[in-house]
Amino acid sequence: MKIISVLFVCLGNICRSPAAEAIFINLLEKKGLTDCFIVDSAGTGSWHIGKKADYRMRIAAERRDINILSRARQITSHDFEKFNYILAMDDSNFRNIQDLKNRTSSTDFSSIKKIQNFRSVFNEQEVPDPYFGGDEGFDNVLDILEDSVSGFLESIS
């Protein structure tokens, strides 16, 4: 089977996109598909490069037996050559990804989409950023991502 590469992208790469990455990896492990995928996450901003995911997101995910192990990094032009799918958490990051691609890459290798295009249960058009809210926002984001990330996997399986 051909290896499929997936990059999840949010603003700082410490809440939404590392959670989406971990949820996706968890689903792949349950289905025995980890050898078929390369999975990563990134942010459009550079504020948190090298940091672990927000501790509140890690705690909320751990309660669901999902381990967020990634470290924050910023999306680069090379990602457009490496990843089959680049999935944005919201409209702003989607536009930022498109702008970066238009400025730095001439390849059409990557399919850039919004993760919420794959939702089936939740009506949110964007994955809300829980960073400045309370703890319940992190659980809400995990609920939303579990829905849309599983929908994405179904769409490519």
Q: Is 10 an annotated catalytic residue? A: yes
Q: What is the pLDDT of residues 44-73, one digit of tens each?
A: 999 999 999 999 999 999 999 999 999 999
Q: Is 91 an annotated catalytic residue? A: no
Which one of 15, 16, 40, 119 is the catalytic residue?
A: 16
Q: What is the CATH number of the domain that holds 45?
A: 3.40.50.2300
Mean pLDDT (whole number) for 72-92: 97
**Residue 50 — left, alpha, or beta (φ > 0 → left; ψ -120 to 50 → alpha)?**
left
Domain containing residue 83: 4-156
Let me know: does 5 contact 84? Beta carbons within 8 Å: yes
Q: What is the pTM of this model?
A: 0.97
Strand blocks (E) in the chain: 4-10, 37-43, 85-88, 111-114
* Placement of tokens 């940091």 in the chain: 51
Q: Is 64 an annotated catalytic residue? A: no
Q: What is the pLDDT of residues 94-142, one digit of tens each?
A: 999 999 999 987 778 899 999 999 999 999 999 999 999 888 999 999 9
Mean pLDDT (whole number) for 87-93: 98
The number of distinct structural domains making up the chain is: 1
Which one of 40, 79, 90, 129 is the catalytic residue?
A: 129
Say whether pLDDT at 4 is over 80.
yes
